[in-house]
């Protein structure tokens, strides 16, 4: 290696290291404060490493707050939304990928339109619509809203996965006498497992973190999801940073684990032609 | 494909009907949901903009024409929110893009442990947005967070105060959080585009004596241009609508100084329960975004025709 190459390599590694630190530092800080005993937190000033650690904040949050309820509610809402959206988007995405039919152009336009307009516009009308049905302050209401919001993007995502699977496969099955739906379910769906995983993960994280509509539709802790619960928790316990950050760490862990598991598929799915956050 | 949906006329009538209706059956559940939960509320929301809709007033609901828009025309907070939206969107998109591009270029070069590094630097994107907001709000809080103390030590602040409470600076808190949170998105799309560039182009260029900078300008940038354009444009619309970080970190405060239009709509609907006024602001935002999108489409057409 020439000295110039070595300098370039060192600079490259240092830049990457800098990025990793920048990406992880806020999360590290969350973790650090969550395990620092209260007496040290306020007396030691700002320190990179706590001189003592404790799990007291975690056990308090788990035992003496509504945190487990928020966790359960969010799991129900995000889980059901992810499953329902994935089913609906597989069906719709398959139709978009395999059939040409009258009205297809308008369906695509409608779905694109929903990606362009500000969802915050729908806050008031959706509240007004769900209220007489008794669906405000209910997990069902949230699932319906989140499912609708996520279906268009998930359909595009699934369509791009189906586009990648050759058509000969189900044609062969149909010559052998299978109906199109059977061919779809038994041959095409299993082949697009990465796509299903990416869609499931994507929608789960989106529903797990949705804030505006859950704030608007949910009041009180019984039906509160994570974002709502944690925000109310923060204003209620605003003096106790250790407990708040312990709650934050616990809200973070499932999302991060999930992300690390499906990261590869998600990147693959996103680069398959769809662009959204 | 249509070939086996329509082609075969020797099939019995019922079978043909079933084939013709298949695409509609597949798409119906998704469509019904989109229409009832997104399209109908959108139309309702537009009608609310011209009506007096207040949640706690039982006799509200009547049409009041352009009253909301007259109020809006004199609403200084709205104008500030509009300026803030430009500020928020401009800085967030610009810095997310610049850092995202640098990150993508760094990750494009093979090195040991690249997979792990990629997973780690993309991790912020997995953090739920409300939690990203809380996390950064805590980092900016001088009681437990290091940032004010660092800024003070560097001489950038005269005292280790919370910038989120400072009317002049509060907007920067959510912007910094947004940059941290959004870089991975740009990096992912740009990295995918980078990896689709044929490697032999670079080899040919270096044989011809092109340095790294020349190769970047003459090969990388032209290849990335379409991806950059579409990502930046879509993100611009998306970020101008993105109110989570602001609601969590500053709630638009202090004194509406960090309010953007999207968070202002939410504040009017959620806090003041004035759905009519909120919808009027939302309609203005919608019109602005549509205008922006149409301008972009026109620009694209013009560029395509020019060549």
CB contact under 8 A, B111 and A16: yes
| pLDDT of amino acid B271 | 84
From chain A, the residues in CB contact with B34 under 8 A are 110-111, 114, 148, 151-152
Distances, alpha carbon A30 to alpha carbons A206, A233, B201, B238, in Å: 22, 16, 45, 28
Q: Between B38, B138, B234, which is nearest A275 by CB?
A: B234
Segment B157-168 shows an average pLDDT of 87
Minimum distance, in Å, between the CA of residue B119 and any CA atom of chain A: 7
Mean pLDDT of all residues in chain A?
86
Rounded distance, CA B160 to CA B36, Å? 51
The DSSP-derived string for B264-290 is HHHHHHHTS-BHHHHHHHHHHHHHHHH
Rounded distance, CA A266 to CA A253, Å? 18
CB contact under 8 A, A118 and B286: yes
Indicate whether A247 pLDDT > 50.
yes
From chain A, the residues in CB contact with B1 under 8 A are 98-100, 167
Q: Model confidence over B74-131: pLDDT tens digits?
A: 999 999 999 999 999 999 999 999 999 999 999 988 888 888 898 889 889 889 889 9
List the Cα angle B20/B25/B26 in 5-degree steps: 110
| pLDDT of amino acid A271 | 55
CB contact under 8 A, A99 and B1: yes
| pLDDT of amino acid A81 | 97
From chain B, the residues in CB contact with A103 under 8 A are 24
From chain A, the residues in CB contact with B270 under 8 A are 123, 215-216
CB contact under 8 A, B33 and A147: yes
Indicate whether A273 pLDDT > 80.
no
Instruction: Give the total residue count for chain A.
Output: 277
| pLDDT of amino acid A151 | 96
CB contact under 8 A, B106 and A19: yes
| pLDDT of amino acid A269 | 59
ipTM value: 0.86
Residues 6+ apart with CB under 8 A from B257: B80, B84, B167, B168, B170, B171
Percent of chain A topping pLDDT 90: 35
Minimum distance, in Å, between the CA of residue A100 and any CA atom of chain B: 6
Q: Model confidence over B241-261: pLDDT tens digits?
A: 999 999 999 988 788 889 999
| pLDDT of amino acid A227 | 87
Q: Between A104, A125, A276, which is nearest B45 by CB?
A: A125
CB contact under 8 A, A118 and B282: yes
Residue of A nearest to B143 (CA): A42
CB contact under 8 A, B136 and A258: no
Torsion of CA B31, B37, B38, B39, to 10 degrees: 70
Segment B43-56 shows an average pLDDT of 88
Indicate whether A6 pLDDT > 70.
yes
| pLDDT of amino acid A267 | 63
| pLDDT of amino acid A276 | 40
Rounded distance, CA A69 to CA A65, Å? 9
**Which of A4, A23, A181, A215 is the best substitution to test chain B (most B C-beta atoms within 10 A)?**
A23
Q: Between A99, A114, A205, which is nearest B126 by CB?
A: A205
| pLDDT of amino acid B283 | 93
The DSSP-derived string for A125-165 is HHHHHHTTTT-TTSHHHHHHHHHHHHHHHHHHHHHHHHHTS
Rounded distance, CA B307 to CA B296, Å? 17
CB contact under 8 A, B286 and A15: no
Q: How many CB atoms are located within 10 Å of the residue B41 CB?
A: 24
Highest mean pLDDT of the ranges A44-53, B10-19, B62-71, B167-176: B167-176
Residue of A nearest to B54 (CA): A124
**Which of B27, B164, B193 is the best substitution to test chain A (most A C-beta atoms within 10 A)?**
B27
Rounded distance, CA A275 to CA A259, Å? 18
Q: Model confidence over B172-197: pLDDT tens digits?
A: 999 999 999 999 989 988 988 888 88
| pLDDT of amino acid A253 | 84
Indicate whether B2 pLDDT > 50.
no
From chain A, the residues in CB contact with B134 under 8 A are 230-231, 234, 244, 248
CB contact under 8 A, B106 and A15: yes
Residue of B nearest to A201 (CA): B126
CB A215 within 8 A of CB A209: no
Q: Model confidence over A145-155: pLDDT tens digits?
A: 999 999 999 99
Q: Model confidence over A195-210: pLDDT tens digits?
A: 898 888 889 888 988 9
**Which of A124, A152, A168, A236 is the best substitution to test chain B (most B C-beta atoms within 10 A)?**
A124
Rounded distance, CA A54 to CA A31, Å? 11
From chain A, the residues in CB contact with B278 under 8 A are 123-124
Segment B266-291 shows an average pLDDT of 90
Q: Model confidence over A161-203: pLDDT tens digits?
A: 898 888 888 888 888 888 888 888 888 888 888 889 888 888 9
Segment B33-54 shows an average pLDDT of 92
Percent of chain B topping pLDDT 90: 41
CB B171 within 8 A of CB B197: no
Segment A25-31 shows an average pLDDT of 94
From chain B, the residues in CB contact with A89 under 8 A are 30
CB B135 within 8 A of CB B129: no
pLDDT band at B136 (very low <50, low <70, confident <90, very high): very high
Segment A96-112 shows an average pLDDT of 90
| pLDDT of amino acid A148 | 96
Q: Model confidence over B15-28: pLDDT tens digits?
A: 777 778 888 999 99
The stretches of A164-240 forming alpha helices (DSSP H) are 168-175, 180-183, 189-191, 193-209, 212-217, 226-236
Rounded distance, CA A226 to CA A273, Å? 31
B168 versus B8: the higher-pLDDT residue is: B168
Indicate whether B1 pLDDT > 60.
no
| pLDDT of amino acid B134 | 92
A274 versus B280: the higher-pLDDT residue is: B280
């Amino acid at each position: 290696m020439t000295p110039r190459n070595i300098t370039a390599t060192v600079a490259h590694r240092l830049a990457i290291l800098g990025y990793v630190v920048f990406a992880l530092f806020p999360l590290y800080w969350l973790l650090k404060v969550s395990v620092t005993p209260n007496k040290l937190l306020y007396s030691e000033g700002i320190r990179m490493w706590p001189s003592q650690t404790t799990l007291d904040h975690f056990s308090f949050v788990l035992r003496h707050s509504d945190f487990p309820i928020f966790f359960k509610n969010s799991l129900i809402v995000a889980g059901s939304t992810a499953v329902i959206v994935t089913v609906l988007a597989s069906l719709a995405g398959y139709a978009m990928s395999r059939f040409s039919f009258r009205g297809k152009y308008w369906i695509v336009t409608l779905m694109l339109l929903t990606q362009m307009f500000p969802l915050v516009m729908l806050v008031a009308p959706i509240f007004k619509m769900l209220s007489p049905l008794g669906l405000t302050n209910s997990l069902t209401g949230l699932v319906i809203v989140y499912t609708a919001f996520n279906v268009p993007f998930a359909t595009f995502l699934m369509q791009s996965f189906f586009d990648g699977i050759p058509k000969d496969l189900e044609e062969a099955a149909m010559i052998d006498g299978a109906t199109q739906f059977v061919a779809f379910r038994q041959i095409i769906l299993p082949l697009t497992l990465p796509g299903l995983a990416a869609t499931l993960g994507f929608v789960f994280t989106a529903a797990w973190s949705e804030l505006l509509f859950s704030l608007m539709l949910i009041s009180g802790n019984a039906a509160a999801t994570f974002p709502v619960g944690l925000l109310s928790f923060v204003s209620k316990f605003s003096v106790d940073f250790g407990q708040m950050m312990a709650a934050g760490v616990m809200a973070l862990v499932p999302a991060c684990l999930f992300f690390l598991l499906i990261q590869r598929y998600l990147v693959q799915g996103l680069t398959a032609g769809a662009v959204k956050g | 494909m249509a070939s086996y949906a329509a082609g075969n006329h020797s099939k019995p009538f019922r079978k043909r009907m079933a084939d013709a209706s298949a695409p509609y059956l597949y798409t119906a559940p998704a469509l019904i949901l989109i229409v009832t939960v997104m399209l109908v509320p959108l139309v309702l929301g537009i009608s609310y903009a011209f009506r007096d809709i207040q949640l706690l007033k039982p006799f509200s609901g009547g049409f009041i024409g352009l009253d909301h828009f007259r109020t809006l025309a004199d609403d200084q907070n709205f104008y500030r929110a509009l300026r803030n939206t430009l500020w928020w969107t401009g800085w967030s998109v610009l810095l997310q893009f610049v850092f995202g591009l640098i990150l993508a270029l760094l990750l494009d070069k093979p090195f040991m442990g690249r997979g792990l590094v990629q997973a780690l630097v993309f991790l912020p994107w997995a953090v739920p947005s409300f939690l990203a907001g809380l996390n950064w709000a805590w980092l900016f809080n001088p009681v437990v967070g290091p940032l004010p103390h660092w800024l003070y030590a560097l001489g950038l602040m005269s005292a280790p105060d919370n910038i989120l409470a400072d009317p002049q600076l509060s907007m920067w808190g959510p912007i910094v959080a947004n940059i941290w949170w959004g870089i991975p998105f740009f990096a992912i799309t740009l990295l995918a585009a980078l990896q689709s560039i044929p490697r032999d182009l670079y080899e040919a260029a270096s044989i011809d004596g092109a340095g790294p900078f020349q190769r970047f300008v003459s090969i990388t940038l032209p290849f990335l241009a379409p991806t950059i354009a579409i990502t930046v444009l879509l993100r611009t619309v998306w970020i101008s609508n993105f109110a989570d970080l602001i609601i969590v970190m500053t709630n638009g405060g202090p004194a509406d100084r960090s309010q953007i239009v999207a968070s202002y709509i939410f504040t009017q609907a959620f806090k003041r329960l004035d759905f009519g006024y909120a919808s009027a602001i939302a309609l203005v935002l919608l019109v602005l975004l549509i205008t922006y999108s149409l301008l972009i489409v026109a620009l694209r057409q013009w560029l395509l025709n020019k060549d």
